[in-house]
A = this chain, B = another copy of it.
Amino acid sequence: MIFLLGASGYIGQAFKRHLQALRLPIHEISAQGLLTTGKETLRSNIREFRPDFLINAAGFTGKPNVDACELMKAETLTGNLVLPLLLAEVCAEEGIPWGHVSSGCIYQGQREIGVQGDDLGFREEDAPNFDFYHLPSSFYSGTKAMAEQLLAGFSSLYIWRLRVPFDESDGARNYLSKLMRYSRLLDVRNSLSHRGDFVEACWESYARHLPYGTYNLTNHGSVTTREVVGMIENEGRRRALGGDAFSAKMMCKHYDFFASETEFMQQAAKTPRSSCFLDTEKAKRAGLPLRDVRVALTEALQHWTWEAQK
């Protein structure tokens, strides 16, 4: 038994005839049955509801983490590359403005060291340096970067770059929850996005009619893993004094660190991680509501609620 995809096409027809002449049993599989770009569904929804704006917060990030994307390339491509292109093509045809949640993970490291020795983050217009063109990178980052590259050919759209989301609600996708639950940590410097700040900044870019284009929407500044752990420990000690033994135990646990990124790659990860620092001057100048990263972290920890308590 031979499975044949594309049996009605120019080459598929010839395969079918050849296999039939050899009297081999064929089972035709419809490629369209396996894959649909759903353009018609989106078009009919748009024509029915005439939305003012469309938000794409869908994507394929991998569970439990980005390593899963290496083993599920079909889904990663579909969610992060085909979906945005589908939205771009249909929204352009129908004249619908839209926003796309992208990621700062298309960069690695920092742009350059400033004259005063301070970090300078990657700007919106900087070409990615952690993508299919710069290996080793991760397949996830490659698809996110390629989507940005292809979306650059379209107008009437915002590209909102998120990095390492967190907020005050304990949960599997929250960076602070991850730090408290991972058995070992990698000390790297990163830009982070408070989830609420991010979403509000996205929305305000549309509500305030900011020019379409790319916006780095992380909180201002950058922090190292050790700094964030220090902030968690401080909050744990504060709660201990208030008699909150559960928080004290969870927040003041022993934090173990990998000796190096090499050790992390050897022992814990299948694919490299992006750690990077984004420049947020464009968002700041536009007046988008993003707090300093240390303020946002401190407030998230002060208002921290455990998942079990919610």
Contact = CB atoms under 8 A, between A and B. Distances in A.
A29 interface: yes
Nearest to A36: B36
Tally of this chain's copies: 2
A82 B89 contact: no
B89 A73 contact: yes
A39 B2 contact: no
A224 interface: no
A221 interface: no
Contact of A10 (B87, B195, B202): B195
A6 interface: yes
A106 interface: no
Contact of A173 (B10, B15, B22, B173): B10
Contacts of A51: 1-3, 27
A186 interface: no
A109 interface: no
A76 to B, nearest CB: 9
B55 A15 contact: yes
Contacts of A29: 42, 45, 54
Contacts of A88: 73
Contacts of A198: 11, 14
A56 to B, nearest CB: 5
A200 B19 CA distance: 9
Given A5-B58, A19-B203, 20 more contacts: A1-B49, A1-B51, A4-B57, A14-B196, A14-B198, A15-B55, A15-B199, A29-B45, A29-B54, A31-B79, A33-B41, A34-B36, A34-B38, A34-B42, A34-B86, A35-B36, A35-B86, A71-B89, A77-B81, A82-B82
